[in-house]
Amino acid sequence: MDQEVRKETAAAIEDCRESLPNELDAESVVFGFDGFVDRVRRMVAERQDEDTYDSLTTLEELGDRISTSAAADSSLSIEWLNTATRTGGHTAHLSRAYGHLGYDPVMIGTYGNPIEEPFIEEFDEFEMVSFGDPGYTDACEFDDGKLMLMEINKTRDLDWAEIVENTDPAELANRIDGATLFGMGYFADMPSFPDIVEGLLDDVWPLLDDPPGTVMVDPGDVRKLSEAELREGMDVITRLDDVATLTITANKFESTVLAETLVGGEYDTLAEASEAAYEALGVTRFVGHGAHESVVVTADGSSRVAVPRVEEPEITTSAGDHFNAGLSLGLVNDVPDRAAVAIGNAVASYFVGSGDQPSYEELNAYFDEYEAFLEE
């Protein structure tokens, strides 16, 4: 870590301590429009007996096995284990994190019709609006990343006409009106996402007396989209900045794809990619997050904030969503931009290390651990 990033991170942590309130107001927050059931998996490298086995620990190991099998013109069989099953996707992960912080989110997405049991078990106390069946994800976890195998189902076909068929725009307006935050994801899994944004802007926003001041969009793994889909879709999505303060958030790879597609050229660092994406999108704020640092870019410039290292990850699937939860928590509480990014880093690292979401008290206590990381 270079000294500039170390200094910026220390200042960001101090901003968190000074800017966050003693208690959260827990105003209304709304998330849409997906819904998944995640099956968290581990792949077996070698099994000794019924109870003992060695795991495939890296994506590189998996890649080597695939390459070796392909070179030998042979099929490949790998055992995997289901280590956990839980609800997933943008709406579930963000709502779970905000629930632990004391909020009662409104969830709008694909949870089944009727709503399926995993969502009822976990989110019964929250308001849910469902438009169809959820998708399913097998998330294979490794020490250096994860392989996501997705059956997207209704989420992929969801468009504004389908939403209106199931819910009147006035009903959506009632749920969104007065919210301090509206978070949306993912464009990459929902090709009609821009159509939904247009519907919101044309049919819902005019009905709002107190519209959300903060809108956050996570476009997801934009590598799935064609260049034309990405360009045209982001042109629509960025119109949200006309009615609210819009933050686009993306991980390192997604930020690079956005920059390369919208601007051209090659980008060696997350900071370079984030700055290029920000200029191309023309929104209030762009945030790129990675394993080692996160970057926020606004009209006032950019800040790089180091991510606290987790020596023994408990879980990595949805770390990005937990980053977004912390980031948006900072934004709705009006902390400085670099502090909002530090909160995102803290929530994500806490989750990766423990497998659980922090309460507000635990989040504030974690800043001491975050600070100690800078002194290593």
Per-residue pLDDT of the chain (376 residues; tens, 9 = 90+): 899 999 999 999 999 999 999 999 988 999 999 999 988 899 999 999 989 999 999 999 999 999 999 999 999 999 999 998 889 999 999 999 999 999 999 999 999 999 999 999 999 999 999 998 999 989 898 988 889 898 877 778 899 999 999 899 999 999 999 999 999 999 999 999 999 999 999 999 999 999 999 999 999 999 999 999 999 999 999 999 999 999 999 999 999 999 999 999 999 999 999 999 999 999 999 999 999 999 999 999 999 999 999 999 998 889 999 999 999 999 999 999 999 999 999 999 999 999 999 999 999 999 999 999 998 7
Query: Does the domain made of 3-41+85-374 have the CATH classification 3.40.1190.20?
Result: yes
User: What is the spatial distance between Cα 315 and Cα 259, in angstroms, rounded to a whole number?
Assistant: 29
pLDDT of the residue at 341? 99
- Whose CA is closest to 194, among 229, 226, 220, 163? 229
Write the DSSP string, 48-74: -SSS-EEE---HHHHHHHHHHHHHTT-
Q: How many CB atoms lie within 10 A of CB 235?
A: 12
Longest dimension (CA), the chain: 65
pLDDT of the residue at 40? 87
Q: Give the model confidence (pLDDT) of 2-40 as tens digits.
A: 999 999 999 999 999 999 999 999 889 999 999 999 888
Bridge partners of 184? 32, 217
pTM (two decimals):
0.89
- Whose CA is closest to 41, among 88, 85, 87, 82? 82
Extended beta strands in the chain, E state:
29-32, 36-47, 53-55, 80-88, 106-109, 127-130, 135-142, 145-151, 181-185, 214-218, 245-251, 285-289, 293-298, 301-306
Write the DSSP string, 29-40: EEEES--EEEEE
Q: Give the model confidence (pLDDT) of 81-101 as tens digits.
A: 999 888 999 999 999 999 999
Write the DSSP string, 170-193: HHHHHHHTT-SEEEEE-GGG-TTH
| 376 contact partners, CB below 8 Å, separation of at least 6 | none
